[in-house]
Each structure stands twice: as C-alpha cells, then as structure tokens.
Amino acid sequence: MDPLIFHNDRIIAATEARLAPGQVGLLTGWGVFTTLRLYRGEPFAFERHWARMSRDAERLSVTLSHTRDFVHDAAVQVARTNQRRAGMARVAFIRNQGGLWGDGEKRPPSDLLIFTRELVPWPERHRLTLRPRAIFAGGQLAGAKMLSWVPHSLALEQAHAEGFDEVLLLNQKWQLAECASANIFLVREERALTPPLTSGCLAGVTREILLEIAPQAGVEMAEQDLTAADLESAEECFISSTTREVAAVELISPKWHFKAPGPITRKLDQAFQAYVAAHLPGGVRGKVPTG
C-alpha cells in the first residue's frame, strides 16, 4: 500500500489513520468497498463502481457520507499525491454508528478510506481449484461487496497455499458462482457463458462491460446456470475483474484443461482494451494508456 491515504476529508499518512476502537464497522466488517483500476492516475469506470457500491450500501444500511464527485476527486487526488499513475485504488465506507461498544462521540455516519497501490502481478494463464458450497445464493446479502470478505479471502489464501492462482466457488446448489475476486466465463461452441446474479456472484464491473460489448465484438454471450459438468464441454475458460480485466484460465483442478488464451478469450480481451481506451480522459482509441 502507498504511504498516503485519504481519510474522510483529507490526505494523511497511513500510519496516522485512527478509527474508533468501538466502531461497529471496524468490529464487524459492516461497510462497503470497491477496487478501482487507475490509468494515468484516473479511476476507470468510476460511475459503474459508485452505482454498485450505492446499491450495496442501501442493502447494508450504510450511509455513504460523501458524494460521488467528492469521492472521485479524492481518489484522483490521493493517486496523484502518491504518484500512482498506474495501479489500483480501494475505496471503503466503514459504518460508524450502532453496536454495543460505541463511545458516544459525535462521528459521521461512516468513515471514508481510500488507499492506492501498484497492480498485483497476476499470471498470464490462471490455474484454479474448486470449492463446493462456498456461496449461499439465497442469502439476503448474496452478491454484495461488503467489508465482511473473510470467506472469499480465506478461500483465496488456501488456494494460493495449494499452488493455485484463484479459487472457483460453487453455491449451495453445486452451481458455479464466482471466483474469490473475479467472475467466471466458459466458452462452448464460440458462445461465452457466465453464471447469472442469482447464482450469488458479484455484479462485477468488468463482467457488466463484457456483457454489453460482446455483441459488437461478434461474440454471443449469455448468463446461464452452470455446474461442474459444464466444465467437461467447455473449450475455453476465462475470468474477469477490475485488476485482471480479461484473464485466460488454463486449468481447473482436478481435471479440466483449456486452451489459454483461446480465440474467444483473445477477441473479448481486445474488445475490452479498446473500450477502456475509448472511455478514459485523454485515452487514444484502440490503445490503453499504461503510464
């Protein structure tokens, strides 16, 4: 993490940040967050991230204590101050009020925190392992991107310990749902398929964009219930996330192998890169700025 962060209304050193010991969001993980990709110090698709975070905040009864434009400008400001032109930013709202351990001090409804850092060095071809019954799709908060992220983080940590790059989580119906930090896609007969939101998966921003641009790229894409049996007939597999964009999968343990990257994965990756370039301030159409 970069040394300077944004806390509520100003930039401070990360070592100086202070949260209340009895803050309900700190003690219980009661809050919302999103991760932004930075190009030339600008957060990509910020409006989409904000819209999703706002929906999740309403579901979780978390008050977003700052406006969309304020948070956007704060993310740009802290990225610039940290000289983080290319990388990622984490935006979090941590609920202040509620719980038995509050100190009675007057505080805003939630604390705003924004951090930046360099990109995670993901592999060119991903290797996944399966985790059954890791998602409860019928839950009230299924698919919400909230601070209580331990099940996903623990599953990813265990996958890394076993030598894998990611973990594919199944829901209680033994359907494919999502990865710990990415959405999943299978390609069969030149058609890309991804689990619907009813599977319990996160409404990923990159996933949302791919569903929109796939027809323009000449790729048929659909949301469809999928199980491990569908891995048998899949010709390609890829995952999508804000930090990895479109990433090929070569293996899902214990027995499924895929061409990585396959032609449909390449086509969608190229289409996504063109979309990014066309929607960044000062970007050159068809070429993603990297510096």
For 164-217, the pLDDT digits (tens) are 999 999 999 999 999 999 999 999 999 999 999 999 999 999 999 999 999 999
Cβ atoms of 244 and 122 closer than 8 Å: yes
Q: What is the pTM of this model?
A: 0.93
Assess contact for 65 and 112: CB atoms under 8 A: yes
| Chain-centroid distance, C-alpha 270 | 20
Structure tokens belonging to residue 98: 């509620």
Region 144-153: what's the mean pLDDT? 95
Through-space distance between the first and last CA atoms of the chain, rounded to whole angstroms? 19
In this predicted model, which residue has the larger pLDDT, 70 or 289?
A: 70
Residue with tokens 């032109």: 85
Which residues have a Cβ under 8 Å from the Cβ of 84 and sit 6 or more positions away?
A: 2, 38, 41, 116, 117, 118
Task: Tell me whether strands 191-194 and 183-188 are parallel, antiparallel or unpaired.
Answer: antiparallel
Token duo for residue 16 = 């100086």
Give the pLDDT of residue 11. 98
Which domains are seen in the chain, by residue range? 4-117 (3.30.470.10), 125-278 (3.20.10.10)
The confidence score (pLDDT) of residue 282 equals 60
**pLDDT, tens digit, for every residue of 219-241?**
999 999 999 999 999 999 999 99
Nearest of 6, 226, 230, 257 to residue 112 by alpha carbon: 6
Q: What percent of the chain has pLDDT over 90?
A: 88
